[in-house]
Amino acid sequence: MPVKFLNRILKIKQHQAPLDKGVLEGVYLMECKGLKKKELLFNDGTPSILLMPHQDDKVSISINAQVKEFHSAWVSFGELHNTYMEIPPNLDYLVVIRFKEYAFFELFGMSPEAFANKPIFNLHDFVNHSVVDEILKSYALEDPQERVRFLTTYLSGIELKDSYPKLLKDIVDIIGKQDKPLSVSDLSTIFKLPINEKWIQRSFKKYIGIS
């Protein structure tokens, strides 16, 4: 997402209680006033879906100087390098859906490896069509605030099996609440138990897809 949006979302999160259940981190309505014609995209490691105002909208994104066109809804995850979004004229807003890292891949039936060399997907490429269809239903609502409420209600109600190590989930939650990087030693102190650095590296790669 545009770096400006990420900064706004991080400020909003400071004043919101985290969602304890479901797959959702949050749904955000981002007004596009003040954006340049070309905006740098960045991902902080949180899987995100970005929705344009209308289902027939398209957007051009430049990835390492190669311009690609995406549909009205696209997914971003993993590291983005030299990636820019061409802001369409008269773009009023984007809806940003951010998911809990350890729930995202199970929800959509995908492996983190799918994003290794392709950090941006069209939402239509996903295989869990029931979830995709429900997300796309939000386009029937003209009021963007109603879209946010619809998506929040639906996605926050989805609960998955606890297929990820509880310690990994707790570590991700702790990292997400911090405003500075944590070392393995810091985590060991917080959890009051020895944490193996190699285990953390393997678990993050296997379950979340990032180091």
Say if CB 30 and CB 119 are below 8 A apart: no
According to DSSP, the β-strands at 48-51 and 93-99 are antiparallel
DSSP structural state of residue 141: -
Rounded Cα distance between 158 and 24, Å, is 8
Q: What pTM was estimated for this model as a whole?
A: 0.80
The b/e string for 69-82 (b: 16+ C-beta within 10 A; e otherwise) is ebbbbbbbbbebee
Q: Higher-confidence residue: 44 or 96? A: 96
pLDDT tens track for 136-147: 999 999 999 999
pLDDT tens track for 32-52: 988 899 999 988 778 899 999
pLDDT score, position 64: 87
Q: Which two tokens stand for residue 130?
A: 């029931």
According to DSSP, the β-strands at 59-63 and 120-122 are unpaired
Rounded Cα distance between 188 and 209, Å, is 22
Q: Higher-confidence residue: 21 or 37? A: 37
Highest mean pLDDT among 49-53, 74-78, 131-135, 175-179: 49-53
DSSP structural state of residue 82: S
pLDDT score, position 144: 95
Rounded Cα distance between 167 and 36, Å, is 42
> Identity (one letter) of the amino acid at 86?
E
Say if CB 191 and CB 167 are below 8 A apart: yes
pLDDT tens track for 170-198: 787 777 677 677 888 888 888 888 888 88
Rounded Cα distance between 165 and 102, Å, is 9
DSSP 155-176: HHT------S-HHHHHHHHHHH
Q: Which two tokens stand for residue 9?
A: 């979302």
pLDDT score, position 152: 93
